[in-house]
């Protein structure tokens, strides 16, 4: 999905609450694409410190590692992308089965890049935010929100859905908002659930065991927990059904496999330098998850689509495994 609900409206709430944060965005538009901005929540220090990703080498599947590298490299070459990452995790154990990082340096060839702990801007927060809202009991995925013509004015700031120039989505359910990449739908759901009180939102995330979502591995780990749902929580089950819908009927359809049912979320975010991060994070089989995968690609220029680009890498990896 394009961006997250973190609009400048919420940044104002943060300022009023005098919360500590390291990096913040103001969502603005350029060429009709929401430029994703978000807050990196660091509980201890506002200076990012890289940490080595500690891997137990025996968990890596060398055959899968080679295949994932090939699939990712082919897609990066096709897109003439700057870099890309793909991580494959075993749902039940949390073991990493493949971890690929590639970047284009001076030559035309892609070289290995193992800096998986570097913070980056992601567009995959929407489902996690919706889950936090569901936990309040004040919203349901079937609730209807009016996103109007795709332009929403909030405290003097403007939130625009990706299709605002085509007249917006009008009245849709929150579930449809996730599937159709509506920032306005997600924002209104969060606003309803927490009454515009941002501290309550962050308290809810903390209660859910979520603090830092700054790296692909951290995001994948959170999605993996959703896929696993060890405690059989009803709200997580509802979200999982919505994530299936995102792939079957939403903007992440390019991630769909003809071999197994998958679930997940796509995202596209434009950085301040004009380049894009396109992503997909999901798991399969949707009804009994065995693997979760995140794919993140950094590229310049349009087109830029998380579903079409990162989602296609995800689909190829899924088909290889199955």
Q: Where are the domains of the chain?
A: 8-44+56-321
CA distances from 51 to 85, 115, 129, 220 (A): 17, 9, 26, 17
Pairing mode of beta strands 171-173, 263-270: unpaired
CA–CA separation, 277 and 257 (whole Å): 23
One digit per residue, pLDDT tens: the chain, 322 residues? 434 334 344 334 333 333 333 333 333 333 333 333 333 332 222 233 333 344 444 799 999 999 999 999 999 999 999 999 999 999 999 999 999 999 998 777 899 987 787 788 888 999 999 999 999 999 999 999 999 999 999 878 899 888 898 999 999 999 999 999 899 999 999 999 999 888 999 999 999 988 778 899 999 999 999 999 988 899 999 999 999 999 999 999 999 999 999 999 999 998 999 999 999 999 999 999 999 999 999 999 999 999 999 999 999 999 999 9
pTM of the model: 0.83
pLDDT digits (tens, 9 = 90+) for 100-123: 999 998 777 899 987 787 788 888
Nearest CA to 217 among 286, 114, 133, 112?
Answer: 114
CATH code of 8-44+56-321, in short, is 3.40.710.10
CA–CA separation, 32 and 40 (whole Å): 25
CA–CA separation, 175 and 173 (whole Å): 5
Diameter of the chain by CA atoms? 54
CA–CA separation, 18 and 16 (whole Å): 5
CB–CB of 317/86 below 8 Å?
yes
Q: Which residues pair with 157 in a beta bridge?
A: 154
Q: At residue 184, what are phi and psi to the nearest 5 degrees? A: -65, -45
Query: What is the rounded (10 degree) CA torsion for 224, 217, 73, 308?
Result: 50
CA–CA separation, 180 and 164 (whole Å): 12
Q: Does a cis peptide bond (omega within 30 degrees of 0) precede residue 303?
A: yes
**What is the rounded end-to-end Cα distance, in angstroms, of the chain?**
26
CB–CB of 141/238 below 8 Å?
yes
Q: Which residues pair with 282 in a beta bridge?
A: 264, 293
Ramachandran quadrant class, 151 (left: phi over 0; alpha: psi -120 to 50; beta: rest):
beta
């Amino acid at each position: 999905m394009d961006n997250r609900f973190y609009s400048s409206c919420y940044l104002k709430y943060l300022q009023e609450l005098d919360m500590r944060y390291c990096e913040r965005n103001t969502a603005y538009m350029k060429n009709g694409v929401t430029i994703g901005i978000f807050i990196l929540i660091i509980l201890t220090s506002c200076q990012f410190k890289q940490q080595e990703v500690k891997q137990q080498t025996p968990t890596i599947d060398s055959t899968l590692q080679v295949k994932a590298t090939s699939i990712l490299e082919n897609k990066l070459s096709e897109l003439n992308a700057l870099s890309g990452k793909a991580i494959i995790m075993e749902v039940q154990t949390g073991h990493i089965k493949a971890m690929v990082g590639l970047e284009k340096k001076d030559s035309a060839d892609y070289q290995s890049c193992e800096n998986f702990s570097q913070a980056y801007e992601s567009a995959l927060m929407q489902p996690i935010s919706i889950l936090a809202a569901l936990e309040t009991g004040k919203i349901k995925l079937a609730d209807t929100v009016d996103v109007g013509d795709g332009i929403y004015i909030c405290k003097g700031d403007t939130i625009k859905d990706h299709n605002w120039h085509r007249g917006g989505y009008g009245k849709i359910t929150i579930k449809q908002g996730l599937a159709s990449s509506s920032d306005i739908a997600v924002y209104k759901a969060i606003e309803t659930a927490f009454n515009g009180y941002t501290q309550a939102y962050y308290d809810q995330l903390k209660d859910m065991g979520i603090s830092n979502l700054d790296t692909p591995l951290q995001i994948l780990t959170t999605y993996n927990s959703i896929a696993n749902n060890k405690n059989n929580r009803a709200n997580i089950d509802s979200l999982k059904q919505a994530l299936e819908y995102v792939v079957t009927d939403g903007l992440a359809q390019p991630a769909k496999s003809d071999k197994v049912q998958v679930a997940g979320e796509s995202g596209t975010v434009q950085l301040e330098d004009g380049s894009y991060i396109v992503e997909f994070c999901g798991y399969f089989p949707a009804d009994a998850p065995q693997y979760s995968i995140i794919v993140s690609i950094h590229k310049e220029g349009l087109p830029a689509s998380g579903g079409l680009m990162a989602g296609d890498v995800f689909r190829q990896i899924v088909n290889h495994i199955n």
